[in-house]
Copies of this chain bind each other. A is one copy, B any other.
Amino acid sequence: MAVTIDEVAALAQVSPMTVSRVVNGQSKVRESTRERVMQAVGKLGYVPNRAASSLAAAQDARIALIYTNPSSAYLRELLLGVLHVTARTTFQLIIDDWEGFDAAAERKAARTLGGSVGGVILPPPLCESKVVIGELGRAGVPMVAIASGSFNPDISSVRIDDFLAGKEITEYLIKAGHTRIACVKGHPNQMASQRRFEGYKAALKEAGIAPDAQLVQQGYFTYRSGLDATEKLLSLRKPPTAIFASNDDMAVAAVSVAHRRGLQVPRDLSIVGFDDTSAATTIWPELTTVRQPIGNMADAAIDILLRAIRRKPEDHRVVVDHVMAHQLVVRDSVAPPPVLARKSGT
């Protein structure tokens, strides 16, 4: 049926073992041999059988990705990133929805899971659940928190620097001339919200802009909460000229409210988001936002897990904190504030 390693070996006139070495990028192969093998691989269209290789190598880990909010745009991107990784590697990915679980249910689920998987990926807010981390930790299962906002010594993490990112995007607004900059905070149960908000405050402080409590609204990462927060903000006697929403969904909501009130974005109001999910480019104007390298983060998370699984159980506990570079994505939702624009004749 499919092309096997033996066929490739026969064509290249080497042993299957050599083909295996070439395919897996091992070093101890003569260059000429390697080329001959690669040629055979190309000609035959050989693709290694993952079931066989993982069985032979005993590297068939089961990795679980547990989530609680399948509708969040961010999680979608993450799942996609993980999907890309699974397509390249050998392990079984188990994905599970723990939405609405209370502490008891979480404990039970974690206990069950602990017995059947080699590693677990935890996106927020699960990566901040004491119950889950405690239970899985007791079972000796390697875990990695993804996009956790901050480092917790009990669990490895792959994340960006949410503080810095929040600070940078606020600074971008300041550089555009804004001083009345509002912030719609993210869900209080997630450290990332907190860190982004701290970044916002730090940028203001460094620029010598006095903080204004009225300009800070609590949001919950949902479109709905963004709607409410923006309404309050724009109803202020002295409304902001720019809004920093802690994620794209809320930023999209802010744009919608602005439009409904006859405000043009960015001419009358600048808006920035966070995450660079599909929502950011679905609307008009497209959103200036912060991009998390989700594909790379998924990659790194799985790498950490695989490494831990291959290690002896005794030292599963090696905890790493992998902070990846984020990126400010400048699009069309920011302009100088109206007053300045007028002054400079625009």
Contacts and interface: CB of A to CB of B under 8 A. Distances in A.
A227 B284 contact: yes
Interface string A81-94: 01110110010111
Contacts of A76: 76, 80, 278
A256 B112 CA distance: 46
B50 A92 contact: yes
A236 interface: no
B2 A282 contact: no
A94 B256 CA distance: 38
A85 to B, nearest CB: 11
Interface stretch (A32-40, A53-61, A182-190, A238-246): A53-61
Nearest to A95: B87
- The winner among A115, A118, A281 for most chain B CB atoms within 10 A is A115
Q: State the number of copies, please.
A: 2
A128 interface: no
A49 interface: yes
Given A2-B118, A80-B79, A227-B284, A50 B45 contact: no
A43 to B, nearest CB: 10
Contact of A60 (B50, B82, B86, B253): B50
Interface in A287-342: none
A75 to B, nearest CB: 10
A275 interface: no
A73 B256 CA distance: 19
A161 interface: no
B223 A283 contact: yes
A235 interface: no
Interface in A76-124: 76, 79-80, 82-84, 86-87, 90, 92-95, 112, 115-118
